[in-house]
Structure 1
C-alpha cells in the first residue's frame, strides 16, 4: 500500500539573507536538510511531497519536492525494517525513473546519511508520468519499493502551479516522527481478516499429567541411605535410576547374624539338592531308578534355590551391595525432574512417609474451572488460551499446537459452582511450571473469519477503546473502535478500521502521548 500526501507542516522557505540560506519548518526545531531539497533556487513557498510504501521487508517513507526537468531534487528516504521497526543502518539505494516512453534514469547513493535515512539526489531529464522505484541493497537483504507514477514537470514554475491546484491534506493528523519511532518499542500491524473463536473467561492451574507425576513413599519404616549422589531439587532422573536405599528396621529377635546363618543354610541345602538331582539323573540313564524320583529331585532343588534367593534378598537389605547401596533400592518410576525431597540421607522414616516427588513437565495439564453460568455457552470446548504473570504473550492450547481436551467434568462443585475442564499441551522449553495460576479463555465452536487486530493495539481512553491508524510514515489518526470476540492476543474489530489499514500495535501509548502532550515527546529530529 502506498500513502501520498503533501507535508504542510514541513514548508520550506528559502530566503537570501546576508548570503545565508534559511530553512524554516513547522516541526519542533526541525532541521529540514533532509526533508526538502537543498538545491532549490526560488524564494517562493514550496511544500514537500511525501510517499509511504511497504515492501515485504521494509517501510519506505520518503519526502521530496515535486520533480522538474533539470532541477536537482534531494530525497529524504527513511527506511525501516519491518521485522523490528528499527532504522536500516547500511546499504545502497537506487532510484529509477521509468515509463512515459522515455529511457530509464537511475540515481544512486552508496550509504545512508545517518542510520535509517538515505539522501539520493535526482536530476530528471524527461517530462511526464514516470514510474518511481526505490531499490535498497543491504549486506543481508534486498528490498524493492515500486511506488507508482510521479509527475516530472517541465520546470519548477509548472511544479509550483500544480502544487497550488492541489488540495491540502485534511487536518487532525498526529505527528510521530521516525526518529521517535526508532527509539521506542514501536510496531505496526496490517488490519486483516483472521479466524477467531468465541471464548469464555475462566481461571485455572497448571498441573502435571497423571502419568508424568510420581510421589514416592516409604514401603517400610527404616533408614534412608544415599546411592551415590543423594537426590536434590531440580535433578534430572531417568526411569529405573536408583535414587537411594531404604534400610528397614529389624523386627523382634532378628539381627544381621541370624540372617547370614539363614542364608548360609539355604545355600548348603540348594547345593545338596543339586548334587542329589545330578546323581539320580545319572542312575535314570542306566535305568536304575524310575523317572518319578528324578522329577521329585528336580522339584526339591527348585524349592531350595527359591529359599536361597529369598534369604539373600533379606540379607541384602542390611549389607552393602555391589552397586554401593544398602537396603531396598528406591528407583525412579518415571523420567523427569526431582520436584521435592522430603528426607535427608541417614534419616529415619515411617512406613507411608513421603520420600521424593518426581515430575515431568514436558507436557502439562491446564485445569480450568468453568463457571456454572458459562457452561451453556461453551458446548463442546475446542481449545483454550491462557496468560501467566511474567510472560508477555499468551499461550495457546489447540489441536494445531499439539494440544487436546483430556476431560470435562459433569459434576458441579458445590462450593465454587464450577466444573473442571482439563487440557493437555506440550511444554518443550519447560518455561511453564507446575502449579502456576493462569487466566484462561476457553474456546467453543468453530472459528469465524472476522476483521481482527492485536490486543496490544488497543488503548483504553476514558472507557472507550481506541486505536491509532497510520495515515503516512509520520502521520497517525486516532480512531474509536467497537470490539467483538477475543481470541488469545487477537481482538475482533466490528467498526472503526478497514482491511489493509495499519494500526500501531506496539507503542500506541507513545503515539497517544504525542497527540496529547507533544512537548513530552521531546524535540523534533535533526538530520
Structure 2
C-alpha cells in the first residue's frame, strides 16, 4: 500500500498539469520545429551575426539579355607561325613559350642546308608572345616547316555557347556584350558581337556566338572560361531587385522581404536581367525591401533555432527551459515530494498504532 501511494504521487508530480502556468508543450509555432519557415522575426543580435543587408525594390531601366557560357580565343588574324623559306638546321632559339616579343626581335638562328650559305636569323613579324614551340635546337627543318607560333592578345575573341532556344532569334551582330571570366568574376569586359555561327552542333545542340573585346594590357589568356551577357533589348523601367537577393533554381525562385525585424520568404517570378539587377514580374511591390546579404544563411534558419537563440546568441536547450520554469513557478517539487512522503509515513504509523490497539482489545476479550 505504501509503495502504491508513492508511485501515484510521483506520476502526479511529472504530469503536464503540474508544469505550471506559461509552459509551452508544443502548441506554440516555435516549439521545437525543424526546417525552414516562411515567416519569422530576428533579434538585433541575430541580424548583426548574419550580416543582414537589404535594398529597396524599385523601377529601373533593364535591358533584356541572353546569357551563355563563354571561352576566350585568340583572333585568327592575331596569330602567326614562324617558318623558314628553305631547309636548315636550328642553331639557336632565343625565346621561350609565354615570353613577350616585339616586332623585329630575333627568334631563331638557322644554318641553311645548302653549302656556302651564311646563317639566317628569323625575327618576330609583330608584337605578341610565344604561343608554341614546334621544333628544338639541332633539328633540321624543311622549307615551310613550323618552328614556333606568336600570338597578339591586345584583342580577343570570346566564343559564347548557347543551347537551342528562342533566344537565338534576338541575337545580332554589333550588339553589346559583357564578359565575366571565372578567374576574375568582378571584372567587366565589354565588347560587341562580331559574328554568329547559326549552324547547330548536331551532338550538343548548341550554336556559337563570337564577340570581339579589347584587352590592351594583353592580360587575358586563351582558353579561359566564364559567362557572356548579350544585351538584346531596349531599356525600359521595370520593377527590379539586385541579383544577390534572388535565391532558388529551376524556375522556382524566392527572396526574403524584410520590414524592421520581420522577415518573410516570398516566391517571385523573374524577367529580364542585367549584370547586377533582375526584373521581378510578380511577388513584390515597389519600395519593399529585400535581403541582399545574409539571405543564403536565412534558408537554413528553422523555427526551433529562432526560438532557442536569445539576444546574446546563446542557444537554450529545452532542458534548460524546463529547469528555468521549475524555478519560476514558485514550487519546490523535491520538498513537496519529501513532505508528501512524510505524511504517508505518519499515516502508516497511525494505522500501525490502531492495529496495536485492536490487538490489545482482542487480547483482553479472550482473557
TM-score tier, shorter chain, comes to 0.5 to 0.7
What is the distance in 1 between the residues matched to 2:307 and 2:174? 48
Give the deviation of 1:434 after TM superposition.
1.0
Kept in 2: contact 1:174–1:515 (CA 8 A): no
Find the counterpart in structure 2 of residue 83 from structure 1: none
User: Does the C-alpha gap of structure 1 residues 221 and 440 become closer, same or farther in structure 2, counting only changes over 3 Å?
Assistant: same
- The separation in 2 between residues aligned to 1:456 and 1:370, in whole angstroms, is 24
Counterpart position of 1:37: none
Is the 8 Å Cα contact of residues 192 and 500 (structure 1) preserved in structure 2? Answer: yes
Secondary structure of 2:299 counterpart: helix
Q: How is 1:156-305 mapped onto 2 (pairs within 5 angstroms)? A: 172-175=39-42, 177-178=44-45, 181=48, 187-226=53-92, 230-250=94-114, 255-256=115-116
Are 1:504 and 2:280 counterparts?
Answer: no
CA 1:350/1:521 → structure 2, altered by over 3 Å: closer, same or farther?
farther
2:214 is the alignment partner of 1:422: no
- Relative contact order: is structure 1 or structure 2 higher (C-alpha 8 Å, sep ≥ 6)? 2
- Tell me the distance in 2 between the aligned counterparts of 1:340 and 1:395: 29
Offset at 1:235? Answer: 1.4
Cα distance change, pair 190–422 in 1 and its aligned pair in 2 (3 A): same
Matches within 5 A, 1:361-440: 361-369=153-161, 374=166, 375-379=168-172, 382-393=175-186, 395=188, 397=190, 403-409=191-197, 412=199, 415=202, 420-427=208-215, 432-440=220-228
Deviations 1:422-462 (A, max 9, x none): 21113356554212344434332322222222322112189
Distance 2:213 2:308 in 1: 44
Q: Work out the CA distance in 2 between the residues paired with 1:430 and 1:501.
A: 44
Instruction: Output one character per residue of 1:469-527: Cα deviation in whole Å (capped at 9) or x when no partner.
Output: 2312x54332221111222342111122334333222331112223556369976437x
Over 3 Å counting, the alpha-carbon distance change for 1:395 and 1:525 in structure 2 is: same
User: In 2, are the aligned partners of 1:222 and 1:350 still within 8 Å (CA)?
Assistant: yes
Deviation at residue 394 of structure 1 after TM alignment: 7.4
Secondary structure in structure 2 of the residue aligned to 1:354? coil
CA distance in 1, matches of 2:68, 2:141: 42
Cα pair distance change 1:466/1:389, threshold 3 Å: same
Q: Which has the higher strand share?
A: 1
Could you tell me how far apart the structure 1 residues matched to 2:268 and 2:180 are? Answer: 24
Structure 1's 209 and 177: CA in aligned 2 closer, same or farther, altered over 3 A?
Answer: farther
| Stretches of structure 2 lacking an aligned partner (at least 5 in a row) | 1-37, 314-367
Cα drift, residue 249 of structure 1? 1.5
The alpha carbon displacement at 1:366 in A equals: 1.4
Report SS of the residue matched to 1:510. helix
- In structure 1, distance between residues paired with 2:232 and 2:250: 31
**Alignment partner of 1:445: what SS?**
coil
Change (3 A) 1:505 1:201: same
Unaligned runs of 5+ in 1: 1-170, 257-313, 318-326, 398-402
1:445 lines up with 2:228 in the alignment:
no
Verify the 8 A CA contact 1:394 1:488 in the aligned structure 2.
Answer: no
Q: 1:487 aligned to 2:274?
A: yes
Q: Which residue of 2 aligns with 1:335?
A: 127
For 1:198 and 1:371, the matched residues in 2 are separated by 17
**CA–CA separation in structure 1 for the residues paired with 2:138 and 2:43:** 68
TM-score by length of 1: 0.45
Structure 1 residue 205: Cα displacement: 2.7
Equivalenced residue count is: 275
Contact 2:244 2:293 in 1 (8 A): yes
Give a deviation string over 1:54-77, Cα, whole Å, max 9, x none: xxxxxxxxxxxxxxxxxxxxxxxx
Root mean square deviation of aligned Cα: 3.6
Q: Partners of 1:372 and 1:422 in 2: how far apart?
A: 16
1:7-57 deviation digits (Å, cap 9, x = unpaired): xxxxxxxxxxxxxxxxxxxxxxxxxxxxxxxxxxxxxxxxxxxxxxxxxxx
Distance 1:222 1:488, change over 3 A: same
Q: 1:360 to 1:510 in 2, by over 3 A?
A: same
Contact 2:54 2:289 in 1 (8 A): yes
The Cα offsets for residues 260-309 of structure 1, whole Å up to 9 and x where unpaired, read as xxxxxxxxxxxxxxxxxxxxxxxxxxxxxxxxxxxxxxxxxxxxxxxxxx
Deviates more, 1:339-348 or 1:412-421: 412-421
Question: 1:388 touches 1:437 (CA, 8 Å); kept in 2?
Answer: yes
How far the C-alpha of 1:467 sits from its partner, in A, is: 0.8
**Alignment match, 1:35:** none
3-state secondary structure, aligned to 2:235: strand
- CA change 1:481–1:371 in 2 (3 A) is closer
CA distance in structure 1 between the partners assigned to 2:71 and 2:231 by the alignment: 17
Deviation at 1:391, TM superposition (A): 4.4
Query: Shift of residue 243 of structure 1?
Result: 1.8
Say if 2:253 is the partner of 1:465: yes
Change in Cα spacing, 1:380 to 1:176, as seen in structure 2 (3 Å) is: farther
